Chains A and B, each alone.
Chain A
Amino acid sequence: SQTIHQWPATLVQPVGSPLSLECTVEGTSNPNLYWYRQAAGRGLQLLFYSVGIGQISSEVPQNLSASRPQDRQFILSSKKLLLSDSGFYLCAWSPQGHLSYEQYFGPGTRLTVT
């Protein structure tokens, strides 16, 4: 069966510091991968998605970036964090070339920028 991992689970970082959040998927090949941010009391905002290694699409202009160095690894980064980057970051995957559209979510990373 497929599993999705995210780490770290929680992170407290000062303003201006760098960020690296990692997401890995097991048990599937060539998945679509997604990064979402969920601010307190709000819905999900799609940040990036990827349909393959090195292929990244950005949905929202910001100081975040994403990379996909391996088939089942998706990384969210920032060179300098802002207070507004605080939130709950969720990674998700969906199967490629499959009729269904459902996405499967990881446990999330709680980021607090101080």
Chain B
Amino acid sequence: AQSVTQPDIHITVSEGASLELRCNYSYGATPYLFWYVQSPGQGLQLLLKYFSGDTLVQGIKGFEAEFKRSQSSFNLRKPSVHWSDAAEYFCAVGAYGSARQLTFGSGTQLTVLP
């Protein structure tokens, strides 16, 4: 069965600093990988996705993520964080099957200092 680990429960960065959120997955085949963002009291919004091809994927809001098969990782990055990026971030891996289920990590809470 697939699994996702987000080792950082909470990260604090200063506005304008760079950001990297870690995600490690376990899956027997080529993974489908996603990053979602959730603002307080809101649903989840898809930031970016990886299916195949170029291992560096670009998403919305200036985010990017790099798939590294050798490290089973899909880390999320942003070169300069804005105060509005404060939210919770979830990594997810897609499971093969008719329902195309996703398995989510436990999330990383991002705090942005002024």
Contacts and interface: CB of A to CB of B under 8 A. Distances in A.
Interface of A: 32, 34, 42-44, 46, 49, 51, 57, 88, 90, 92, 94, 99-108, 110
A101 B100 CA distance: 6
B44 A105 contact: yes
Interface of B: 32, 34, 36, 41-46, 49, 51, 90, 94, 98-102, 104-107
Q: Most chain-A Cβ atoms within 10 A of its Cβ — which of B45, B46, B99, B101?
A: B99
25 contacts: A34-B101, A43-B104, A43-B105, A43-B107, A44-B44, A44-B104, A46-B101, A49-B99, A49-B101, A51-B99, A90-B43, A92-B44, A94-B100, A100-B32, A101-B49, A101-B94, A102-B34, A102-B46, A102-B49, A103-B46, A103-B100, A104-B46, A105-B43, A105-B45, A108-B43
B52 to A, nearest CB: 10
Contacts of A99: 51
B106 A43 contact: yes
Contacts of A88: 41
A101 B32 contact: yes
A104 to B, nearest CB: 7
B90 A44 contact: yes
A32 B107 CA distance: 24
B69 to A, nearest CB: 18
A106 B94 CA distance: 19
Nearest to B49: A102
B99 A32 contact: yes
Contacts of A102: 34, 46, 49
A10 B41 CA distance: 10
Nearest to B95: A101
Contacts of A107: 42-43
